[in-house]
Amino acid sequence: MVDFLFYMFALTTLLGAGSVVLSRNPVNAAMLLIVSFVGTASLFIVLGAYFLAAVQLAVYAGAVIVLFLFIIMLLNVDASRKWKPSYFTMAGGLIAGILMVFAVLHLFKRGENFTTDTLSESAPIGTTTQSFGVELFTAYMLPFQLAGILLLIAMLGVIFISKRTSDKGKEAV
Amino acid sequence: MNWESYKSIADTNLWSAILPEFVLVILALSLLLLDMFGGSKGRGLVGRVTMLGLLVLFVLSLTVLRDNLGYINQTTFSGMLLHSDFGQIMRLFFLASSLLTAYLGSVFLKKQGLPGTEFYAITLLVTASLMLLSQSNNFVLLFVALETVTIGFYVLVSYNRDRSNSLEAGLKYLIMGGFSTAILLMGIVLLYGIGSSPVLEGATAHSLNFSELRNFLELNSDNLIAKVGVLLVVAGVAFKIGSVPFQIWIPDVYQGAPTPVTAALAVSSKAGGFAVLIALVSGPFKPMADLLIPVLSVMAIVTILFGNIAALTQQNVKRLIGLSGVSHAGYLLMGVVAMFTVPSAQNAIVFYLITYLLASYAVFGVMAHVSKRGQDDAQNLGDYQDMLKESPFLAGVLVLGLASLAGIPPLAGFIGKLLLFYVAFEAELYTMLAVAIVGVVISIYYYFGWIKEATFRIWKLPLLEGEEPEEPREWPEVSRTARLTLGGLALLALLLGLYQGPLSSLIG
């Protein structure tokens, strides 16, 4: 059963990723990327990492894709225009692809003695949402609070820079 | 779940150990409330509240909180922070720098007619994270603190949002900063991954902790992935200090940013980078000396030469200061290299940073005063003509500041350079020392070019008949606070050159 689920979700991920590359319309490509992310999240569930799966869905399928769609909307990309990559780009892509193939082959060779059991046991703090939460509010309390300040600065900055001013330079409400 | 162990971890979260940072954050939040509910009267008070708060905190940190309520040489927050004497000095440094930034900000914002609350609030928050950064003992905290500082600076650089060059500088800094963050993060991830790999000897589950990472690197100092990770982390930090080959952003961003922000970038941001570098080199990266000494040496040599040679032809004073700041980063990097063999080099670096702070803020203070109301101009060397005649006080401060940056005895900058060169000599870095001395000689040319513009009379053509005389430039009034602040900075730069007693006991 687990094997069947793995192959199904792996196929979803790969097909989704493949169609992102092949799709001509950027909006469709962004949507297909969600399919690929859902496949990855499902693979995490098969591995027993439920929290990671939820984060994958919330952050990538939710926030990042919305960001992509916003950028596509703002840039007003023309779907019909054909884009021809330069030789430099093509060479870069080729090298990255070859490296990726070697990395995957290496994983297959080295990964024989890894099973899902050893993976979840070797994780230092476990994989449940509760263990992440407890860890976050004990050992990582200070960086967690500091991240709040980071977001406050970002919010202040965005409001300040994009605030509308009237001609006299006084703040408009 | 083992609650007892979590309880003992939570017990190390001692908020009183970071009291100054805590107060800064509270102060920043109350500024926002003051702006919201205080009406126009409250808005006018914001700048003064900020400066008063920073001044009180600085004095308290110098006296009552000198030993950080007893938390010295201890780790708190489950090993996230290490409170050391070095951290205490850097805390004072950032408080002083932030106080001066807030003062320059009050001068600048009034001239530009910009609202100030966000400027002061972000400056305070950035200061708090810089102070945490200089005490961090874990890569997670280091990254979050560094990112908070950088994001604060993105906003501050583009603060003058009605001017396109400020926004342009903000965008350039955003892109280059994002790039450097990615490099730093990649390095941290590689170190985390290789440090917790069960295949290797000395692997640890907490490989982001500095002391655990050091133990790991001591056993695996020739591991390729660890080497790449260390290099990437150093590259990420090199962006912040602006050393070659990561100095590309400096001239444009310095030129476009509002003057007080340029000052903060030149002093606080650079010092923050060096605080991280010192913590790394004296801690986790010490076992990687064989890799880092040649890399940092080459970086230091190229940085010194590039900064000084590129500054030679600059006509814009902000670009000139930016590029000369690159060369100062080079001299400081020389001190970092010396730290591998002579640990006391750390004190020389701290002293140099303090002299750099005094001289830089004196020069930037003059710059902030010279620009006209509603404009951020007067950035060309030519704008400083006749300064000695029209505004002798500002000219005097400028001359003292620039001469201290150039390292002319008897000013503080000379002693700073002397100490750095001395530790480099002790560490037997003769090649680098020779390059640094050549660099100092080159730097005198452009610093004195600026002094010459400000002090020497320029001969002008006599007016021909029917020719309108050129309208005389408006020279700013210098307020009493400005006289006190700038005069104090210049005086300190002079006194520290003559007598270093109290400071050397502070640094140790």
Token pair of B290 as six digits: 């064989």
**Nearest chain B CA: its distance from A127 CA (Å):** 12
What six digits make up the tokens of A56? 């994958």
* Chain A interface includes B140 (CB < 8 A): yes
Calculate the average pLDDT of chain B. Answer: 89
Q: Is the pLDDT of residue B167 over 80?
A: yes
Is A157–B154 a contact, with Cβ atoms under 8 angstroms apart?
A: yes
Q: How far apart are CA B487 and CA B485, in angstroms?
A: 6
Cross-chain residue pair B80–A143, CB shorter than 8 Å: yes
- Per the domain annotation, does A154 fall within a domain? no
| Locus of tokens 């990042």 | A64
Rg, Å, chain A Cα set: 22
User: Mind telling me how many Å the CA of B365 is from chain A's nearest CA?
Assistant: 25
**B78 contacts in A (CB within 8 Å)?**
138-139
Q: Which of A146, A161, A171 to mutate to test the interface with B (most CBs of B within 10 A)?
A: A146
Whole-number Cα distances in Å, B290 to B221, B222, B298, B341, B349: 9, 9, 13, 11, 22
Q: Where are the domains of chain B?
A: 289-458+477-508
Contact yes or no for A138 and B10 at CB 8 A: yes
Q: How far apart are the first and last CA of chain B?
A: 46
Query: Is A172 touching B (CB cutoff 8 A)?
Result: no
Q: Work out the mean pLDDT of chain A and round it to a whole number.
A: 83
In what helix (H) or strand (E) does residue B186 lie, and over which residues does it extend? helix B164-195
Are A143 and B144 inside 8 Å of each other by CB? yes
Q: How far is A153 from chain B (nearest CA, A)?
A: 6
When CB atoms are compared, the residue of A139, A146, A153 closest to B152 is: A153
Distance of alpha carbon A97 from its chain centroid, rounded?
19
A134 touches chain B (CB under 8 A): yes
Does residue A70 lie within any of the structural domains?
yes
Q: Which tens digits make up the pLDDT trace of B353-404? A: 999 999 999 999 998 888 766 565 667 887 787 788 888 898 999 999 999 9
Mean pLDDT of B6-28: 90
List all residues of chain A from 150 to 169 with a beta carbon under 8 Å from chain B: 150, 152-154, 156-157, 159-161, 165, 169
Pick from B118, B129, B132 the residue to mutate for testing the A interface (most A CBs within 10 Å). Answer: B118
- Establish if B19 touches chain A: CB-CB under 8 angstroms: no
**Mean of the pLDDT values across residues B28-46?**
89
pLDDT digits (tens, 9 = 90+) for B55-78: 999 999 988 888 888 888 888 898
Q: Is residue A140 part of a domain?
A: no
The verdict on residue A144 lying in a domain is no
Partner-chain contact A149 B128, CB within 8 Å: yes
Cross-chain residue pair A157–B1, CB shorter than 8 Å: no
Say which residue the tokens 């990649």 belong to.
B186
Structural domain includes residue A173: no
| Whether B123 contacts B156, CB under 8 Å | yes
Say what percent of chain B tops pLDDT 70: 95
Residue A27 lies in a domain: yes
- Here the tokens at position B150 are 């950088």
**Residues on chain A touching B151 (C-beta within 8 angstroms):** 150, 153-154, 157
CATH of the domain at A114: 1.20.120.1200
**pLDDT one-digit tens code per residue, A98-127:** 999 998 888 877 766 655 555 555 555 566
Distance from CA of A114 to the nearest CA of B (A): 12
Q: How many domains does chain A have?
A: 1
Look at A150 and B126 and tell me if their CB atoms are within 8 Å: no
Per-residue pLDDT reduced to its tens digit, B106-149: 998 888 888 889 999 999 999 999 999 999 999 999 999 999 99
Provide the residue range defining the domain that includes A43.
2-78+86-125
> Is residue A164, in this structure, part of any structural domain at all?
no
Position A35 in a domain: yes
ipTM, interface predicted TM-score of the complex? 0.90
A147 shares contact with chain B (CB less than 8 Å): yes
